[in-house]
Amino acid sequence: MLNKLKLSFLILVAASSGVVAQNSPFSFKFEDSPATVAYSSSENPASNSISAIHIQGDTIWLGTSRGLSRSTDKGASWRNYYGDPAFGTENISAIAWDKYNGVLWVSTAHSAERSGQTFPEGSGLRYTTDGGETWTKIAQPLDKESDTLIVYGNSTLRALPVTVAIQNITYDIAVTRGVVWIASFAGGLRKSTDMGTTWQRVILPPDFLNSVKPTDNLSFCVSPVPGKFCSEGYLNYRAFSVMATGDSVIYAGTANGINKSTDGGISWVKFNHQNQVNPMSGNFVVGLGNKEGTNEIWAATWKAEDLNEAYGVSFSPDGGENWITSLDGERINNFAVFTDKVVAAASGGLYKSNDFGKNWYSPGNIVDTDSKLSLKTTTFYSAVWAEAGTVLYIGTADGLIKNSGFVGVWPDKWKLYFASQPLESVEESYAFPNPFSPKTEQVKIKYSTNGKELNVTIRIFDFGMNYVRTVIQSAPRGNPTHTVNTTGISGVIDFWDGKDDAGKVVPNGVYFYRIDAGSEKPVFGKIMVLQ
């Protein structure tokens, strides 16, 4: 099985002035590439770590840690682009739809080694005009060493050239008529009016100003970090999110708040925790949402540098002038908004509100209605409404979820999509991720009941074959309980949390599992615990 590397992103800008690092609010999974890959059709997406979702009619697009996945039949089958010549083994960091021209945009990234450390690196953008059959590649937008000045109205501003792709990752994309907007940490907010052939840096207010317009007489350095080139560095030039609510109205979330333009990105006003009477909870704005046709704005606001800031949801009924905060302490990643139904995807859970954030409801334990498989993660990255608000797709750190039905605050029907390699025979079994860390995840054990419903027992042993844990005892499995494949050799999945019978996390090392399924021959496998 492929090893997965979970990275806590460090913000690192390399330029002529040197290297500066700061903690980032994001944590993503990058997966190691196999020796040979090929894009293919499958019953499931390519990865279980899903950070971005876009719905266009019956077509679902997923941005995952193993590339792009597309379904044209509402999730019944998937085309996975991992290994496609246009994508290779790149990860997807953002997806956006150009409704004016019918173009889908995605941004890509990967991990890179620098001075013995691993960092995320932006690898550009791709767009398709024919539904994903062909793609145009665009390199990660970078500056030349000579790009040290920017003319903005009456002012000529100094600018730190961002010449490397390390930590220059495009986290978000938005499209207005004739313009593509990208939010990249090191690169800041940029726009292209020629389908990505050229890119312009967008001038936002520095940290000490609350607004900028071309008629201002300005003097500052456009730079996300201080250094030899610029003595000052500004949090507001570290961009994480961007959203357009019309051709003229654009919102850009940074490490210093939300910037709003009502003239197509020429002039900007900044809202943050420090400059408003009713402010947002925190200045790290990692996600934005909007109720279509209104000024209602939802922001995933994280604590930045002020001790008075807090994690949570920030809701503005008036386009950013005033904010109402809720879900205090929750690290929200993104929103799904449809009329008055708002879903917040958070690092610590999933929440839904029908009253503008006054009350939030969690679905509790999420269990697949048919297979009875349960979701084992509390980390939710993304959510999107579909089919006129009757269906919700949710991206998590451990699978895609579809929620539908008509009962209760949370509809009563759940479907879980788990990505896994197919079994080559009924005698085969494997565990993934492998190695795994009990601190952050559970290991999945996949095996076959040969299409039958059997009573299954799974036991764990250490390297010396000493008994450790009974995962399940004479539990009914297969046809369809815990089954994840319906074609070929059907697979059944169970989970181990890395604990022994006493509830203690086991030490690092090699462990063995034994599967007894009815009267079938026992099946054995190996798990590496590494934390």
Give the C-alpha separation, 418 to 403, whole Å. Answer: 15
Q: Are 288 and 241 in contact (CB under 8 A)?
A: yes
List the one residue out of 277, 115, 125 whose CA is nearest residue 196: 125
pLDDT of residue 37: 43
Residue 5 has pLDDT above 50, yes or no: no
Residue 489 has pLDDT above 90, yes or no: no
pLDDT of residue 42: 82
pLDDT of residue 285: 98
- In three-state form (DSSP H/G/I as H, E/B as E, the rest C), the secondary structure along 30-47 is EECCCCCCCCEEECCCCC
Question: Average pLDDT of the chain?
Answer: 91
Q: Are 38 and 187 in contact (CB under 8 A)?
A: no
List the one residue out of 516, 431, 513, 505 whose CA is nearest residue 473: 516
pLDDT of residue 10: 37
| Cα dist from 221 to 20, 252, 268, 288, whole Å | 16, 19, 17, 27
Q: What is the pLDDT of residues 356-398, one digit of tens each?
A: 899 999 999 999 999 999 999 999 999 999 999 999 999 999 9
Q: Are 82 and 39 in contact (CB under 8 A)?
A: yes
- The single-letter code of the amino acid at 370 is D
Residue given tokens 């302490």 in the structure block: 329
Q: How many angstroms from the chain centroid is the CA of residue 106?
A: 13
Q: What is the pLDDT of residues 66-101, one digit of tens each?
A: 999 999 999 999 999 999 999 999 999 999 999 999
Q: Are 429 and 443 in contact (CB under 8 A)?
A: no
pLDDT of residue 440: 86
The arithmetic mean of pLDDT across residues 302-327, rounded, is 97
Positive or negative torsion for Cα 431, 434, 435, 436: negative
Give the C-alpha separation, 411 to 404, whole Å. Answer: 5
Is the CATH code 2.70.98.50 the one for domain 430-529? no
Residue 31 has pLDDT above 80, yes or no: no
pLDDT of residue 40: 67
pLDDT of residue 173: 98
Domain limits, the chain: 430-529
Both tokens of 227, joined, read 């250094």
Question: What Rg do the C-alpha atoms of the chain give, in angstroms?
Answer: 24
What torsion do the CA atoms of 339, 340, 341, 343 make, to the nearest 10 degrees?
100
DSSP state of 237: G
| 17-21, 165-169, 180-184, range with greatest mean pLDDT | 180-184
pLDDT of residue 420: 86
Both tokens of 417, joined, read 């999509």
Both tokens of 230, joined, read 């610029």
Give the C-alpha separation, 80 to 42, whole Å. Answer: 7
List the one residue out of 195, 175, 197, 198 whose CA is nearest residue 264: 175
